[in-house]
Structure 1
Amino acid sequence: MVEKIWNLYLKYKEAVLYLVFGGFTTLINIVVYAVCKHAVGIDTIPSNVIAWILSVAFAYVTNKIFVFESRTSGIGALIKECLSFVWCRLATGIMDMVIMYVTVDVLHWSDMVMKILSNILVIVLNFVFSKLFIFAKKDDEA
């Protein structure tokens, strides 16, 4: 039984680790947003930007090291990988900002409910971008 579970883990290791670290990233995003917005009193969009910056930094490091086990060599490759990550996260970050602005500031829906729902969509899109574009295994790495 333990061996079957271990083999399943190994088979789906990347997805499992992405969900674990994606969960931590989402938690960081939501907690930082909530602290900025509700404890400090910062407006919705600036709170969301602060939360995005901190969660993207955490996500890059954990995705690179633990999830996709990227072994970039050279400073140029590292910069390219990091910029690709940030650009893709910026796209989903802008989507998150639009969702939060429209649903919270315009429609006056619950900011915490919308933050959670928006993050679900962001997680899925970020995995696709990371898997297919940013940390895609080269033929010689597979």
Structure 2
Amino acid sequence: MPDGLRGEVISVVQRRRRWTTEQKLALVEEAMRPGLSVAGVADRHGVSRSLLFEWRRQAREGTMPGLVGAGPELPPSLVPVRVVGEPLPRPQTAALPCPERPTQSGATLEVVLPNGRLLRVSEAIGPEVLGRLAAALET
């Protein structure tokens, strides 16, 4: 080769990574922590920022492949509900931040999961989506 011209030999072809549902949800949860950003979490774990934003949307909407509800339909189940006049004390564990957004009806439901996480959703949310979100956040 003439002076100044050099070539590069690429001998390794990177393959597409496969992420389990648990790994995706862990990254989504990490990106939702106060003080952290989606870009920072994505860069730290070597995942595309747009992919992490997509996983976040899928988790929020309950459409992530591998979540409860994907595949054979599960029979509906009932969960205990307690109606109280005053708000429950906040759990000591870190809950996912949920920015206050106006809803069409204005009513918001708060669900305290057995692991201590607090889930805030509009009363207009579909029961199947709520079930998938709760199952995803229980892991």
Output the TM-score relative to the length of structure 2.
0.23
Output the TM-score relative to the length of structure 1.
0.23
Q: Which has the higher helix share?
A: 1
Q: Which has the higher strand share?
A: 2
